[in-house]
Amino acid sequence: MGLFDNLGGALRGVLGQAEAAALPALINAALAKTNLGSLQGIVNQLQQSGLGPQVQSWLGSGPNMSITPDQLRAALSNEQVKQLAAHFGVPIDQVLNLLAEHLPTAVDQASPNGRLQPAA
């Protein structure tokens, strides 16, 4: 493994961290274009839809529980899902997959002390 291989690996790591750090803001921006308004809005709706244990795991310091696209589809209105899909420029099923994959991490990162921080 050469110097450039090491440098490339380090660069990918830094880019991955930067991408991960931007995740809450990106999801928050998309949510702002719906009646959910923010990460706090989707967290509230998920909790009201019976997904409190998952949400609590994202807010807490332990491992994040997963959420499925079907759970998201049941918790969100069709209009909210359509708005999010349009904002991200992806099909509805894909936006649910994206949220299922990234929402736990986004909420976790936006709640360093167990509470969601206001959007910057």
Query: What's the domain range around 35?
Result: 23-109
Flag whether 2 is in a domain.
no
Residue 76, token pair as written in the block: 């969100």
Flag whether 116 is in a domain.
no
Flag whether 6 is in a domain.
no
Q: How many CB atoms lie within 10 A of CB 27?
A: 23
Question: Which pLDDT score, from 0 to 100, does residue 19 have?
Answer: 56
Flag whether 77 is in a domain.
yes
- What total number of domains does the chain contain? 1
Question: Which pLDDT score, from 0 to 100, does residue 74 have?
Answer: 96
Across 40-66, average pLDDT: 94
pLDDT in tens, 78-116: 999 999 999 888 998 899 999 999 999 999 988 988 888
> Model's pTM, two decimal places?
0.78
Residue 62, token pair as written in the block: 């332990």
Flag whether 8 is in a domain.
no
Which CATH number fits the domain that encloses residue 63? Answer: 1.10.10.690
